[in-house]
Amino acid sequence: MSTPPTETVIYSGHPSWRSMLDFHLGGIGLAVLGGVIGKLAASWGIAIAVFLGIFLISLLVGFVRRAAISYTISDRRLYIRNGLLTRKEQHTTLDRVQNVEAKQTLFERLLHIGTVDFDTAASDDSVFAFVGVAAPKRVLAAVDRAVDTRKLAEDDAL
C-alpha cells in the first residue's frame, strides 16, 4: 500500500487471522462433512482427498479475505483499503478524528483481537473502524503517536 511521499507511516496492518476463526472453523466443518460423504460414496482415499481439497480451499479463501483488507495510520491520515481486484478505500485526516474507542467482546479478549472505532467529523452513518485487529491497544497507541507527530509538525511550522 502506498501513501503520499509527504506522509510517514506509523502503523500498517491487516485483520488478525484470529478474527476469522469462525470462518476457518466453518471450513474445517465443511471439509469433515465432505470427507464423510466421500467415504460413504467411495473410499478412504476419496474421503481424504475431498477433506484436503475443501480444507485447502477454505485456508486460501481465508488468507485472501484477510489480505484484501489493510489498515494504515500515517502522520496525517487514517486509511482503510478493502479489495484486491476491485478496491474500496476510505481515509480521513487526523484532525477530523474526534474520538477513538477500542471495543472487545469477551471472546475477542480471549483471542487478543478487537475493533478500533474512530468517530470522525463526518455524518453519523459513516463507519470508520479497524475491525479484527490484533492488540487494539497498540493501534490506539499508534493513533496517539500520529496525533503527537502531527502536533509537533504544526508547532515547528509556526
Q: What is the pLDDT of residue 104?
A: 93
Domain-terminating residue out of 65, 98, 121: 65
Residue 7 has φ and ψ, to the nearest 5°, of -110, 145
142: its cell numbers: 499508534
Residues in the chain, how many? 158
In a domain, 29, yes or no: yes
Q: Are residues 41 and 81 in the same domain?
A: no
Q: What is the pLDDT of residue 122?
A: 65
Q: What is the pLDDT of residue 124?
A: 61
Domain-terminating residue out of 6, 31, 65: 65
Q: Are residues 89 and 142 in the same domain?
A: yes
Q: Are residues 147 and 92 in the same domain?
A: yes
Q: Are residues 102 and 26 in the same domain?
A: no
Per the structure, the complete domain to which residue 30 belongs is given by: 20-65
In a domain, 7, yes or no: no
Helix (H, G, I), strand (E, B) or coil at 71: strand
Residue 14 per-residue DSSP state: -
Residue 123 burial class via C-beta count within 10 angstroms: exposed 0-12, middle 13-18, buried 19 and up = exposed
Q: Are residues 109 and 36 in the same domain?
A: no
Query: What is the amino acid identity at position 144?
Result: D
In a domain, 142, yes or no: yes
Measured CA to CA in angstroms, residue 44 lies from 67, 130, 149, 150 at distances of: 34, 44, 61, 62
114: its cell numbers: 478487537
Helix (H, G, I), strand (E, B) or coil at 4: coil
Q: Are residues 91 and 150 in the same domain?
A: yes
Q: What is the pLDDT of residue 110?
A: 93
Per-block mean pLDDT, blocks of 10 residues, the chain (158 long)? 77 93 93 94 92 95 94 92 91 87 93 91 75 92 85 73
State how far the Cα of 19 lies from the Cα of 118, in Å rounded to an integer: 19
List CB contacts of 27: < 8 A, sequence separation 6 or more: 54, 55, 57, 58, 59, 61, 62
Number of domains in the chain: 2
Q: Are residues 81 and 139 in the same domain?
A: yes
pTM for the model: 0.83
Q: Are residues 49 and 91 in the same domain?
A: no
State how far the Cα of 108 lies from the Cα of 89, in Å rounded to an integer: 26
Q: Are residues 83 and 151 in the same domain?
A: yes
63: its cell numbers: 488468507
Q: Are residues 87 and 51 in the same domain?
A: no
156: its cell numbers: 515547528
Helix (H, G, I), strand (E, B) or coil at 83: coil
Q: What is the pLDDT of residue 158?
A: 65
